[in-house]
Amino acid sequence: PVLVVDFGAQYAQLIARRVREARVYSEIVPHSMPVAEMLAKDPAAIILSGGPSSVYETGAPTLDAALFDNEVPVFGICYGFQAMAQALGGTVAHTGAREYGRTHLTAQGGTLLRDLPAGLPVWMSHGDSVAVAPEGFTVVASSPGAPVAAFEDLTARRAGVQFHPEVAHTEQGQEMLKRFLYDIAGLEPTWTPSNIIDDQVAAIRAQVGDKQVICGLSGGVDSAVAAALVHKAVGDQLTCVFVDHGLLRAGEAEQVEKDYVAATGIRLKVVDAADVFLGHLAGVTDPEQKRKIIGREFIRTFEAAARELDAERHIEFLVQGTLYPDVVESGGGTGTANIKSHHNVGGLPDDLRFALVEPLRTLFKDEVRALGRELGLPDEMVDRHPFPGPGLAIRIIGAVDRDRLDVLRAADLIAREELAASGLDREVWQFPVALLADVRSVGVQGDGRTYGHPVVLRPVSSEDAMTADWSRLPYELIARISTRITNEVREVNRVVLDVTSKPPGTIEWE
Ligand code: XMP
């Protein structure tokens, strides 16, 4: 793999994704990992990510110069660029010239910026600057605040940039990353959906052998693709269980029961557990409490279903659609704080007797979608927006019951229909609709006064759900959704739009 060394800023995942978009496999490792351990992973290249704004900052992580005692190609970005310059004998200076945000880069030839325009907008975020490049390096670009803004050493296969090539504001950033990966490090673009499928199928066969496997389908793209992969690998050794917890959106249960089965030929067992889930959720208002109950009951229901299946065939493995960002966010990658207890990671009970099969554990969401398409899953399923495991329970602000679920489902369906009709589905990462079930406000309808509930529209754009911005949907669309909801859903007399980015807000309200 290409290792992306995380120096603690939020950019490592983005870099890892960009590398994979260039069709090269990448993994994130913490900067605290000893160099020997990194090398033991047989890295094709190492990318040092951004981090603190200066190598002089107190507590700034150090870079072990042993990293350069071997032939592995290295690319330093921002902080990683400075740390690399320092470790190789260059000079980093307190110039006092800070650059934050968009700045203008002047290219001076070389391989990294070959064939790109001589003047380029790039995104910078630094206090100090590299004053003198290390021996053997050629300076290939400068900016007003960074005389050495990019350098390369083609013999040693090392390069670095002061700016952030991974962010969209650096328009040619992906091109530069490719120049490093292909032309400097000499890597091949082999990380393609069909290769990923072949690799995963082989890995699943090796892990599972001739044993029986069970998979829970949630209605979402992750479990659907995970199950389809396992089915491709071991066929009828897989039985899928669809736990209908009663917290899904309108039409979703039917889609799993009909379309998915038709597309894959997977054996499916449907468990209607709505009464059990709603019973346990009755009166519960605390978000984390809701999540814990749902996570627990989900696994319990599985175990019960598995025991039944066991009578026919002995089950040993459980498929989980865990994604790479879940692994990284839950501390598996970098020790990043666990902000919400996502119930598919870390929330499994200790007495769970299945071994886990997690074929998506190394993948980002867009890769999972590409796999789903390649595997022939229905478009509506592959393109579906992410939907939280706890479902509508965390979109009802207040206690959950059947009536409230029906109200939210009706409002949510209208929002989904109108978004789809507008053709803007792909512009939006997710479009939660939340019901403020304990809030009432006064309205007027016809001649009568109403005292109903508000719903919140929360369309967001995002790349990975780690950060998000509220979607600037056309007012006409918002207006249509608002009019339809207040006309068609009797209990709702007010529609409000959430205009908060993440951070400080999260995408979901709970
Ligand atoms: P937040 O609200 O934390 O959401 O900005 C980030 C992404 O995660 C989804 N989400 C969850 N997914 N179990 C899940 O499987 C959960 O408990 C959960 N909470 C939030 C959310 O929909 C968004 O895509």
State the pLDDT confidence band at 345, using cuts at 50, 70 and 90: very low
Q: What percent of the chain has pLDDT over 90?
A: 75
> Are residue 213 and residue 337 in the same domain, yes or no?
yes
Please state whether beta strands 74-77 and 158-161 pair in parallel, antiparallel, or not at all (unpaired).
parallel
Neighbours of 211 (CB within 10 A): 14
Q: How many residues does the chain have?
A: 510
Residue type at position 210? D
> Are residue 69 and residue 165 in the same domain, yes or no?
yes
pLDDT in tens, 399-431: 999 999 999 999 999 999 999 999 999 899 999
Structure token digits, residue 346: 């870390």
* 164 included as an active-site residue: yes
Computed over its alpha carbons, how large is the radius of gyration of the chain?
25
Q: Is the distance from CB of 334 to CB of 28 less than 8 angstroms?
A: yes
State the pLDDT confidence band at 9, using cuts at 50, 70 and 90: confident
ipTM over 0.85: yes
| Angle between helix 475-488 and helix 402-422 axes, rounded to 10 deg | 150
Residue 344 is predicted with a pLDDT of: 44
Task: Encode burial over 427-464: b for 16+ CB neighbours within 10 A, e otherwise.
Answer: ebbbbbbbbbbeeeeeeeeeeeebebbbbbbbbbebbb
Cβ 506 under 6 angstroms from ligand 1? yes
Cβ 291 under 6 angstroms from ligand 1? yes
Residue 338 is predicted with a pLDDT of: 36
The half-sphere exposure of 480 on its side-chain side, counting CA atoms within 13 A, is 13
Q: Is the dihedral of CA 395, 399, 400, 404 positive or negative?
A: negative
> Are residue 325 and residue 373 in the same domain, yes or no?
yes
31, 126, 164, 245: the active-site residue: 164
Q: Is the distance from CB of 460 to CB of 430 less than 8 angstroms?
A: yes
Q: How far apart, in whole angstroms, are the C-alpha atoms of residue 431 and residue 428?
A: 7
The whole-number average pLDDT for the span 192-207 is 96
Of 76, 145, 150, 144, the C-alpha closest to 113 is: 150
What CATH number has the domain bearing residue 115?
3.40.50.880
> Are residue 322 and residue 407 in the same domain, yes or no?
no
Structure token digits, residue 116: 């790109």
Mutate to test the pocket of ligand 1, among 326, 340, 469, 502 (most ligand atoms within 8 A of CB): 340
Listed residues 154, 184, 214: the one ending a domain: 184
Cβ 510 under 6 angstroms from ligand 1? no
User: What is the three-class DSSP state of 163?
Assistant: coil
Q: Whose CA is nearest to atom 6 of ligand 1?
A: 465
Q: How far apart, in whole angstroms, are the C-alpha atoms of residue 55 and residue 94?
A: 10
97 has pLDDT over 80: no
In a domain, 502, yes or no: no
Residue 18 is predicted with a pLDDT of: 96
* 166 included as an active-site residue: yes
In a domain, 279, yes or no: yes
229 alpha carbon – ligand 1 mean position (Å): 24
**Residue 306 C-alpha from the chain's centroid:** 30
Ligand 1: which atom is nearest the Cα of residue 294? 17
Q: Is the distance from CB of 67 to CB of 43 less than 8 angstroms?
A: no
Q: Is the distance from CB of 319 to CB of 214 less than 8 angstroms?
A: yes
174 has pLDDT over 50: yes
The whole-number average pLDDT for the span 341-356 is 56
What CATH number has the domain bearing residue 317?
3.40.50.620
Of 168, 189, 195, the C-alpha closest to 2 is: 189
Name the least confident of 351-355, 376-380, 404-408. Answer: 351-355
Q: How far apart, in whole angstroms, are the C-alpha atoms of residue 178 and residue 183?
A: 8
228 alpha carbon – ligand 1 mean position (Å): 23
Residue 20 is predicted with a pLDDT of: 96
Residue 330 is predicted with a pLDDT of: 65
What CATH number has the domain bearing residue 408?
3.30.300.10
Residue 350 is predicted with a pLDDT of: 52
> Are residue 58 and residue 136 in the same domain, yes or no?
yes
Q: Whose CA is nearest to atom 16 of ligand 1?
A: 342
Residue 333 is predicted with a pLDDT of: 44
Of 384, 344, 342, 388, the C-alpha closest to 247 is: 388
- Tell me how many domains the chain contains: 3
pLDDT in tens, 129-141: 899 999 999 999 9
Task: Encode burial over 185-201: b for 16+ CB neighbours within 10 A, e otherwise.
Answer: bebeeebebeebbeebb
Cβ 508 under 6 angstroms from ligand 1? yes
Residue 446 is predicted with a pLDDT of: 82
* 175 included as an active-site residue: no
Task: Encode burial over 132-145: b for 16+ CB neighbours within 10 A, e otherwise.
Answer: ebbeebbbbbbbeb
Cβ 390 under 6 angstroms from ligand 1? yes
User: What is the three-class DSSP state of 39?
Assistant: helix
342 alpha carbon – ligand 1 mean position (Å): 7
Q: Is the distance from CB of 8 to CB of 31 less than 8 angstroms?
A: yes
The more confidently predicted of residues 335 and 103 is: 103
In a domain, 390, yes or no: no
In a domain, 268, yes or no: yes
Q: Is the distance from CB of 100 to CB of 164 less than 8 angstroms?
A: no
The whole-number average pLDDT for the span 321-329 is 84
Cβ 73 under 6 angstroms from ligand 1? no
On the question of a cis peptide bond just before residue 378, with omega within 30 degrees of 0, the verdict is no
The pTM is what?
0.78
> Are residue 103 and residue 207 in the same domain, yes or no?
no
Residue 336 is predicted with a pLDDT of: 36
> Are residue 221 and residue 341 in the same domain, yes or no?
yes
21, 99, 152, 166: the active-site residue: 166
Q: How far apart, in whole angstroms, are the C-alpha atoms of residue 324 and residue 15?
A: 13
Could you tell me which residues are annotated as the binding site for ATP?
Answer: 218-224
Q: How far apart, in whole angstroms, are the C-alpha atoms of residue 314 and residue 300?
A: 18
> Are residue 15 and residue 68 in the same domain, yes or no?
yes
The more confidently predicted of residues 81 and 343 is: 81
> Are residue 212 and residue 278 in the same domain, yes or no?
yes
Residues of the domain holding 284: 193-382
> Are residue 371 and residue 413 in the same domain, yes or no?
no
In a domain, 506, yes or no: no
Q: Is the distance from CB of 52 to CB of 7 less than 8 angstroms?
A: yes
Listed residues 184, 214, 245: the one ending a domain: 184
139 alpha carbon – ligand 1 mean position (Å): 44
The whole-number average pLDDT for the span 279-302 is 94
Listed residues 184, 212, 240: the one ending a domain: 184
Backbone angles phi, psi at 152, to 5 degrees: -150, 150
Q: DSSP state, 208?
A: H
> Are residue 101 and residue 205 in the same domain, yes or no?
no
Residue 464 is predicted with a pLDDT of: 76
On the question of a cis peptide bond just before residue 503, with omega within 30 degrees of 0, the verdict is yes
User: What is the three-class DSSP state of 276?
Assistant: helix
Q: 């019960």: which residue's tokens? A: 304
In a domain, 119, yes or no: yes
24 has pLDDT over 60: yes
> Are residue 319 and residue 461 in the same domain, yes or no?
no
In a domain, 394, yes or no: no
In a domain, 179, yes or no: yes
288 has pLDDT over 60: yes
52 has pLDDT over 90: no
Name the least confident of 182-186, 228-232, 466-470. Answer: 466-470
The half-sphere exposure of 63 on its side-chain side, counting CA atoms within 13 A, is 30
Ligand 1: which atom is nearest the Cα of residue 387? 22
Could you tell me which residues are annotated as the binding site?
Answer: 218-224
Ligand 1: which atom is nearest the Cα of residue 339? 3
Residue 125 is predicted with a pLDDT of: 85
